[in-house]
Amino acid sequence: MKYLDLVPSNIAQIIPYEAGKPIEEVQRELKLKKVIKLASNENTFGPSPKALEAIKKFARKVNYYPEESAFYLREKLSEKHGLARENIVTANGETELISLIARCFLAPDNHAVISLQTFLMYKIAIQVVGASFTAVPLKNFAYDLKAMKDAIQPSTRLIYIANPNNPTGTYVAKTELDDLFKKLPGNVIVVLDEAYHEYVLKDDYPNGIEYFKKGYPIIILRSFSKIYALAGMRVGYAIAHSDIILAINRVRSPFSTSSIGQAAATAALDDTEFIQRSAAINKEQRDFVYRELQNSGFRTIAPSANFVWFESDISASTLYADLLHCGVIIRPLRAFGFDNSLRVTIGTPRENMMFLDALKKILKKK
C-alpha cells in the first residue's frame, strides 16, 4: 500500500514548516563546541528571574494535568489589558492558535487573504482546512493593505496580518490599519499577529487591543516566545469577541497550555522591568547590527522587531553554510520567498559580535 495516496490532496501539497537548526544538531554534525543560535527570533538573554522561580516551583506538580482554562494566566492578562477573561484564550503557542482560527472560520468553500512573504504558518493553516487563499506581494518589503483589501471576495473570512512582519521586520502604521477597517465587509475578520509588538518603539505603531475595544472584527495574537523568552514553554494567547473565543475553545485540545507554561507566563507578566530592559537592549543592539550590515555592503531594511533582514550578492545558501561552520546559526529565507536573503536574530552583545566577526572573515575570503 502507498500510504501517501491516502492523504487528501490539500494535505499532500503542504510544504512542511522548517524551523531554525537547533544548537545541538550543529554541534553534533559539524563537531563544534561553541555554537550560537540567532535563527528563530528568541530572546537570548533568557527568561525573567520571576519566571524561572515559577518554573522551579511548579516542576513538582507536573504529575497533575494543568488548569484547563488557564484561569490565573487569563486573569493576569485581563488585568494587564483591561479586558474580560471571556475575551482571552491561551494555547500551545501562537502557532496552535493560528491553526485553531483557520479550523473555526474556514471551510473548503471559504477564502482567506495573506501576504506572499510572511510567517509561513498562515498558509499552512489554510491549506490544512482545504480553503483557498490569495497571497498578496509585499510593497517595498511591507504589507500592502490596500491590495489585500482589494483581494477580498464574497467567500473571504480571514485576513492575516503580521505586525511587525516576519521576516522583513517592517510594520503597518496606525493610519494604514485604520484605512483597512473602513468599509471592511461584515463577513471578514482581521487576524492581527502581534508576536513582536513589545519590540516596536514607534509612535505610529498601532496597538491591536485598541481596535478590539472599539468593536472592530479582529483577533489579536500574542506570544510569550519572544520578548518573554519562554519559547520552550509554548504559550500564546488570543484576544477577541467572546463568541470567537467560544468557537476557538470548541476546537482547542484540552490542557493545551502546560501547567509550567501557565505559571511561568503569569510570573513573567509581573516583571515589567525585565521586559523594558530587554526592549531597550534589543533596540541598541539592533541598531548596531543594522549599521554594521549596511557598512559591510549588505542590502537591509530598517528593522522594528528583534531581527534584521539582509540580502547580499553572495549566495544566501553559501553564506548560511559558511556561518554554520563558524558556529553561527541564522535563517535563510528561500522558504519565505526571498531567494538570496537571510535573517539574523538580535542576540546578546557577545553573540552579535561573534556573528559580525564571522561574517567579516567570510567576506574577506570571497
pLDDT tens by residue, 235-268: 999 999 999 999 999 999 999 999 999 999 999 9
Q: What values do phi and psi take at 349, rounded to 5? A: -55, -40
Question: Residue 366 — very low, low, confident or very high, per pLDDT cuts 50/70/90?
Answer: low
Q: List Cα–Cα distances, 245 to 40, 88, 194, 208, in angstroms.
A: 28, 7, 17, 16
Going along the chain from its start, the domains and CATH numbers come out as 3-46+273-365 (3.90.1150.10), 49-268 (3.40.640.10)
What DSSP string describes 31-76? T-S--EE-SS---TT---HHHHHHHHHHGGGTTSPP-TT-HHHHHH
- pTM recorded for the entire structure: 0.94
| Pairing verdict, β 36-37 and 328-329 | parallel
CA 48 to chain centre: 20
- The pLDDT value recorded for residue 21 is 87
What are the backbone dihedrals phi and psi of residue 57, each rounded to the nearest 5 degrees, phi first? -65, -45
Give residue-wise pLDDT tens across range 23-79. Answer: 999 999 999 999 999 999 999 999 999 999 999 999 999 999 999 999 999 999 999
**Among the ranges given (61-70, 84-93, 162-171, 203-212), the one the predictor scored with the smallest mean pLDDT:** 61-70
pLDDT at 365 over 90: no
Query: Count of alpha carbons within 13 Å of 39, Cβ hemisphere only?
Result: 21
Length, in residues, of the chain:
366
Helix H or strand E encompassing 366 = none
Q: Is the peptide bond before 164 cis (omega within 30 degrees of 0)?
A: yes
CA distance 196 to 202: 13
CA–CA distance, 210 with 18 (Å, rounded to integer): 34
pLDDT, tens digit, 9 for 90 and up, residues 78-133: 999 999 999 999 999 999 999 999 999 999 999 999 999 999 999 999 999 999 99
What are 273-286's pLDDT values in tens digits?
A: 999 999 999 999 99
Ramachandran region of residue 37, left (φ > 0), alpha (ψ -120 to 50) or beta?
beta
